[in-house]
């Protein structure tokens, strides 16, 4: 880090907010070098956000989320410990298996208002569901590969043990910690399997290949927040960035709710599989850039209404309706002014104000859409049963209930 590092003076431990900010900046810099189009996206979003001011402007400048996919429970526990040192807790449970994507997920993020105001960096973290691979021999081969791999450097493991012993990271080690943590999330051009196995795993589901064939859980996208996602989408078209055709989430509204997201399509990148030489490369398509617009957090009643309208939209679109026309018509049922949303108890507001509380989480249907537009639909047929409890057992921690967090923020 280039700046003097504020610490908790009495303990000598670094403030987790500072560590999170340093890590998120370093990760963004690394991803920008790895995927230059992400840099273009950051510039485009900064342009659409130029009108912001005050607290919002600060948050927008630092705000982004990332996504990773881990292969085993032990990797999941490791990233939980890593993010915990940065003041990020697992919030929410997302069952993507319901949409045919063989993962279930949580989001590591800061939870209290002060930490969110400093830097709301979050990481959508998915655990592979190898049990959804139907070919038993292939499943066992994949499991053996994942069991052997080590995604954390020995030095990072030492630092995580130190964090456990001291109750935080001694600030003298902050720079080291960030540099070691970056190794876990970097891209590896050299795969850990041969091209044949890659093809077989990919045929099972592209996501399985993305998780199993590489030496670590490379960051697969980073997402800055914009105040106007329609403007950002239009700019992506203008610049020839190949955005996905549909913005995920609710249609455009006067009072934004939840989350709207779009991305540029994943890049096809050269990869050297085991046994290949310099002139004999394969490719892998997984990494992309995304942009999001955030709005009000909804109460259970508001969320039930959103989910019902979205399900109706999906079924009409599947039956051939025009998405834009159907979206406008169906979502007209969701009141689009602050007072009505307040009166109907659809959104959370700061106590005694008409200021909506910002949604800090993700949406499973949108997430499934993002997975599918970047990896392809896959061919797996069985729908597995998922459970939050099984995920929490693998995580060795409960996941926090996001609705309870918003209710607490509203009561403050």
Which of 289, 267, 359 lies closest to 43, judged by CA?
289
Residues between 112 and 141 with contacts to Ni ion, criterion CB under 5 A: none
Residue count (the chain): 412
Residue the block writes with tokens 């989430």: 249
The Cα 400–Cα 361 span in angstroms is 11
Per CB under 5 A, the segment of 65-73, 134-142, 231-239, 276-284 that binds Ni ion is: 65-73
Residue 69 near ligand OOG by CB under 6 A = yes
Residue 104 near ligand OOG by CB under 6 A = no
Pair type for strands 64-70 and 13-14 = unpaired
Cα distances (Å, whole numbers) of residue 215 to 78, 87, 116, 191: 15, 26, 32, 7
Which of 362, 116, 405 lies closest to 249, judged by CA?
362
The Cα 66–Cα 107 span in angstroms is 10
Residues between 353 and 382 with contacts to ligand OOG, criterion CB under 6 A: 362, 366-367, 370-371
Residue 126 near ligand OOG by CB under 6 A = yes
Name the DSSP class of 12.
Answer: T
Residue 129 near ligand OOG by CB under 6 A = no
Closest separation in Å from C-beta 310 to Ni ion: 18
Residues between 330 and 349 with contacts to ligand OOG, criterion CB under 6 A: none
Residue 38 near ligand OOG by CB under 6 A = no
Residue 305 near ligand OOG by CB under 6 A = no
Mask of contacts with Ni ion, 207-246, x by CB under 5 A? ----------------x-----------------------
- Tell me whether residue 89 or residue 261 sits nearer to ligand OOG (CB atom): 261
Ordered alpha helix ranges (H), 213-299: 229-238
Q: In sequence order, what are the residues at sequence separation of 6 or more whose Cβ sits closer than 8 angstroms to the Cβ of residue 268?
A: 283, 284, 285
Residue 76 near ligand OOG by CB under 6 A = no
- Tell me whether residue 127 or residue 195 sits nearer to Ni ion (CB atom): 127
Interacting residues with ligand OOG (CB under 6 A) = 67, 69, 124, 126, 220, 223, 261, 290, 362, 366-367, 370-371
Interacting residues with Ni ion (CB under 5 A) = 67, 223, 290
């Amino acid at each position: 880090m280039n700046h003097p590092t504020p610490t908790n003076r009495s303990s000598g431990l670094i403030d987790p907010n500072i560590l999170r900010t340093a890590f998120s900046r370093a990760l963004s810099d690394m991803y920008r070098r790895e995927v230059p189009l992400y840099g273009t996206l950051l510039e485009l979003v900064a342009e659409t956000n130029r009108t912001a001011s005050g607290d919002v402007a600060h948050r927008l400048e630092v705000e982004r989320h990332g996504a990773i996919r881990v292969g085993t429970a032990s990797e999941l526990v490791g990233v939980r410990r890593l993010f915990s040192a940065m003041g990020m807790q697992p919030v929410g449970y997302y069952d993507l298996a319901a949409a045919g994507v063989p993962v279930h997920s949580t989001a590591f993020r800061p939870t209290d208002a002060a930490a969110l105001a400093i830097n709301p960096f979050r990481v959508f973290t998915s655990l592979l569901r190898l049990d959804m691979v139907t070919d038993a021999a292939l499943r066992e081969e994949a499991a053996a590969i994942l069991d052997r791999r080590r995604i954390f450097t020995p030095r990072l493991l030492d630092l995580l043990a130190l964090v456990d012993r001291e109750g935080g990271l001694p600030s003298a080690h902050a720079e080291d910690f960030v540099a070691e943590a970056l190794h876990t999330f970097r891209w590896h051009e050299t795969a850990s399997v041969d091209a044949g196995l890659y093809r077989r795993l990919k045929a099972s589901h592209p996501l399985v290949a993305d998780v199993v064939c590489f030496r670590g859980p490379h960051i697969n996208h980073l997402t800055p927040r914009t105040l106007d996602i329609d403007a950002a989408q239009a700019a992506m078209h203008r610049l020839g960035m190949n955005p996905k055709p549909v913005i995920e989430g609710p249609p455009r509204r006067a009072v934004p709710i939840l989350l709207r997201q779009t991305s540029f399509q994943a890049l096809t990148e050269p990869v050297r599989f085991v046994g290949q030489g310099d002139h004999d490369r394969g490719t892998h398509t997984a990494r992309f850039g995304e942009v999001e617009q955030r709005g009000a957090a909804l109460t259970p009643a508001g969320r039930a209404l959103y989910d019902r309208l979205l399900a109706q939209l999906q079924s009409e679109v599947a039956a051939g309706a025009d998405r834009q026309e159907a979206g406008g018509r169906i979502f007209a049922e969701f009141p689009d002014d602050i007072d009505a949303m307040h009166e109907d108890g659809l959104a959370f507001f700061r106590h005694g104000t008409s200021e909506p509380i910002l949604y800090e989480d993700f949406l499973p249907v949108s997430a499934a859409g993002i997975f599918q537009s970047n990896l392809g639909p896959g061919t797996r047929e069985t729908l597995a049963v998922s459970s939050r409890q099984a995920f929490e057992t693998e995580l060795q921690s409960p996941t926090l209930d996001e609705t309870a967090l918003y209710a607490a923020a509203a009561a403050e």
